[in-house]
Amino acid sequence: MRVALYARVSTSDNSQNPESQLFKLRERVKNRDWIIIGEYVDTKSGKDANRPELQRLLEDCRAGKIDIIFITKLDRMMRSVKNLLNVLEDLNRWNVNLECIDQPIETHSAMGKMMVTILGAVAEFESELISERVRDGMTRAKLEGKHVGRPKKRMGQKSTPPFSEASQKSEVEENER
């Protein structure tokens, strides 16, 4: 079997590391006599279907280089049901299976395909709930007169990254006033 490993994290900061996913995926393949064709890693939102490594993975699938794709969880592949179903349709046409190692999901069977569709809808729902909560919090903060977004740059002041110790310190000092 020719295997591809796909991992995705949403941010490039140190709070998320795709190596945790890749470690699990490599272990799964190591126990079988399969060949890892490639490791594909994206650092982007799962809502965006135009991720560079996902597109490279799909090109390799289309070219007949891959038999099965391993992912840890379905939401690592897609956060949109429409995009997920489009990818699954393409994979099916190219005779490529998808298997989630942390969830009982595979696309070899009718039951597996149904589970993928249901869990894809749940992943999209979860993503939309998070977005709604963020928008609600920003709206409330604006109504309370709080600044929303990056800190305002004052004349002659060097800008600091939004989550540096300096910006957190000044925020704490301002909140204590």
H or E element in which residue 68 lies: strand 68-71
Q: Which residue in the list 10, 45, 127, 167 is annotated as catalytic? A: 10
Residue 151: DSSP 8-state:
P
Answer for the pair 12, 43: CB distance below 8 angstroms, yes or no.
yes
The total of other beta-carbon atoms located within 10 Å of residue 23's CB is 13
Answer for the pair 123, 78: CB distance below 8 angstroms, yes or no.
yes
Residue 48: DSSP 8-state:
-
Tell me, yes or no, if 170 is annotated catalytic: no
Answer for the pair 99, 70: CB distance below 8 angstroms, yes or no.
yes
Tokens for 98?
């998808």
* 68-71 β-sheet, strand order: 35-43, 2-9, 68-71, 97-100, 105-106
Q: Which residues are designated catalytic?
A: 10
